[in-house]
Structure 1
Amino acid sequence: MLKSTPNVDLSAKLSNSLSLTTIILVMVVILALISLFGSWYTVDQGERGVILRNGKIIGTAEPGLGFKLPMFDSVVRISTQTHTTSYQALQAYSRDQQPATLRASVTFSIPPDKVEEVYANFKSIDSMIARLLDRQVPTQVENIFGKYTAISVVQERIKFGIDVTEAIKKSIKGPVDITSVQIENIDFSNAYEKSVEDRMRAEVEVQTQLQNLEKERVSAQIAVTQAQAEADSQLARAKAEAESIRIKGIAEATAIKSRAEALAQNQNLVELTKAERWDGKLPTTMLPTGTLPFIDAKK
């Protein structure tokens, strides 16, 4: 038993040596893999990369493949695409003290040359939204809404949206471009909406009455016009008839006058007319001093 002890010690030492070598090899392989895969990076289109070395910004990266120092450098990707953030329940009062709940959305983007500033000041886009947009958007919407009456903000909704957009652009100072602000909905109180409905209903009734009055006025004018036309027609007929009678009378008078003048100038024509009209019968009775008809005793 005592003679076999040196062999056992040798085997233990050999085993320990192999285990240590294996561990070292494994660590070398791991370090090699880390160096291999940690020495390059990719940035997608629509993004920009912020390169950090031990936490310090050393530059930015364009879209595509890039290389860095493994275990020392890291890349933070920041989107430069268009983003939209929504605000569902913004409370505001109109100039005539009408409460309203508004829903709005803000469309914005990060300029590619501002990604370094975004990371340095905010670390991420979400943090930037919370610290810039979330503070200014409700305030500016409330301020601009207060310059409009409840009726005018509905009637001039496009102008209201433009005014809100300009106010937000002026108030936000930071690495962000505000593209547009959309006022998606404006909800007034139920009491106000009911009063608007009642007013609109009353206006509709008034307009209906005005239309009816106008219709009756037009109908009356038509009737007057028709009556005037009928009167003018009757007057024209009467004038025509009177003129016809006058002309006929003048013609008859002229004929009588001509006949009288002809008879006065030719007395024999009177006797001829009498003879032509005599039926050839003698009267059955005669006065003592009478003569035979149509016989001039002197001739």
Structure 2
Amino acid sequence: MVAVGRRTSYIYSVCPSHEARGCPSAAMQLLFARSQRDSGQASVAWRFTAQPKEHRMVDQIPRMGRGNQAPGQPPRNASGLITTGVIALIVIAVLAWLNPFYIVQTGTVGVKQSLGQTVGTIEPGWDIVLPWQNVVTYSTREELKRFTEVSAFSKDVQESKNIVSVNYRLDGSRAADVHKNLGRNFAEKIIDPAIQKRLKEIYSRYDATEIVRKRELVGKEVEQQVKENMPPGVIVQTVQIENIEFSAAYTEAIEAAARAQAEVKKTEQELARQKFEAEKVVVNAEAAAKARRAQAEAEADAIRLRGEAEALAIKARAEALKDSPALIQLTAAEKWNGVLPQTMVPGSAVPFVSVPTNAQR
């Protein structure tokens, strides 16, 4: 049987036949050296001695040393462990009560303040915030701000009511500057007056009719001016003019002017059509005249050619008659129908072809 104490060393001598305490003839002695206070572990040394087997003895010798205590007393480090546990529980309770851990959600950024001074930003995730510190959270997502009645005058002094929408967001890396210079209501402090000012400036450059006709161009100019005049950290994505409304009387005048302009365009189109038709008629007439002239020229050429042919034929016949006088009588005979005249005038000759005599032959 062996007993071990943390701060007490025991020596057991065992004899197989005697139980006398302090017998020097122990068969074996076990020496448990004292345990070390710092490490809390016992160093053990074994010592064997050859003794007669007829003796048996158990000897317990307490050895007091540094960090050891007498048998029967509780270990001295038990109270230390209890104290450490109590302190740990107190620390955990204090941390739970103070709750120094702060979580920043996705799509937001935290601005940390210490004793009223801005000391930095906290990205999405967790951070430790001390009791004298606080965190102001800002959204970094794109936000929509809509203005329903923005008043502006045109160049010809016509008032308009406008509906304008603005998409903007906060630059998380500049959130501390925005918080320090503008505060949580930075949109109302910066974007609202910017829309009012830039819309009035740009509308004053155009007449009312131009604003209506060039609505997209005017909207682009307003958007560009608003973007360029935002402070660092505030990013304007888009500016859109959703609706432009003038007074009822002016709207009616604009509609009447639009109708008149439409009529003018319609008349111009009709005149253009008529001009086209007239030009078409002229072109057709010129084409017909040219065709007739070409036809007349062709006919004249045909008549001339026929006259020249007949002249040539007459000339040839005359030459033939001159050379052959009997040819005339032959021609007359060819044209005679064989009927003599019924009435004869006294002294007139019978119109007939003379027949040559034998002598003439």
The Cα shift of 1:28 comes to 9.2
1:138 aligns with 2:196: yes
- Do 2:332 and 2:353's aligned partners in 1 also have CA atoms closer than 8 Å? no
Give the number of the structure whose alpha-carbon radius of gyration is greater: 2
State the one-letter code of the partner of 1:86.
R
Aligned to 1:99: 159
Q: Identity across aligned pairs (percent)?
A: 32
Aligned pairs, number: 269
- Corresponding residue to 1:49 among 103, 107, 110: 110
Q: Any idea what the Cα deviations from partners look like across 1:228-248, whole Å, max 9, x if unmatched?
A: 333333333333222212211
- Do 1:271 and 1:294's aligned partners in 2 also have CA atoms closer than 8 Å? no
- Do 1:89 and 1:101's aligned partners in 2 also have CA atoms closer than 8 Å? yes
Q: Any idea what the Cα deviations from partners look like across 1:147-182, whole Å, max 9, x if unmatched?
A: 221122223323322332343345444532233322
Q: Which has the higher contact order (CA 8 A, sep 6+)?
A: 1
Aligned to 2:85: none
Gaps of 5+ in 2: 1-89
State the one-letter code of the partner of 1:94.
S
Aligned to 1:295: 356
Aligned to 2:298: 240
Q: 1:29 to 1:150 in 2, by over 3 A?
A: same
Aligned to 1:205: 263
Normalising to structure 1: TM-score of the pair?
0.74
- Do 1:107 and 1:179's aligned partners in 2 also have CA atoms closer than 8 Å? yes
State the one-letter code of the partner of 2:97.
I
| Structure 1 CA distance for aligned equivalents of residues 246 and 210 of structure 2 | 13
Please, which moves more after superposition, 229-238 or 86-95? 229-238
1:253 aligns with 2:311: yes
Aligned to 1:152: 210
State the one-letter code of the partner of 1:250.
E
Aligned to 1:66: 127
Normalising to structure 2: TM-score of the pair?
0.63
RMSD of aligned alpha carbons: 3.6
State the one-letter code of the partner of 2:356.
I
1:34 aligns with 2:92: no
The Cα shift of 1:99 comes to 0.8
Corresponding residue SS for 2:205: coil
The Cα shift of 1:257 comes to 1.5
| Structure 2 CA distance for aligned equivalents of residues 278 and 136 of structure 1 | 122
Corresponding residue SS for 2:151: strand
Aligned to 1:179: 237
| Structure 2 CA distance for aligned equivalents of residues 253 and 194 of structure 1 | 86
Corresponding residue SS for 2:118: strand
- Do 1:274 and 1:294's aligned partners in 2 also have CA atoms closer than 8 Å? no
Gaps of 5+ in 1: 1-26
| Structure 1 CA distance for aligned equivalents of residues 189 and 339 of structure 2 | 143
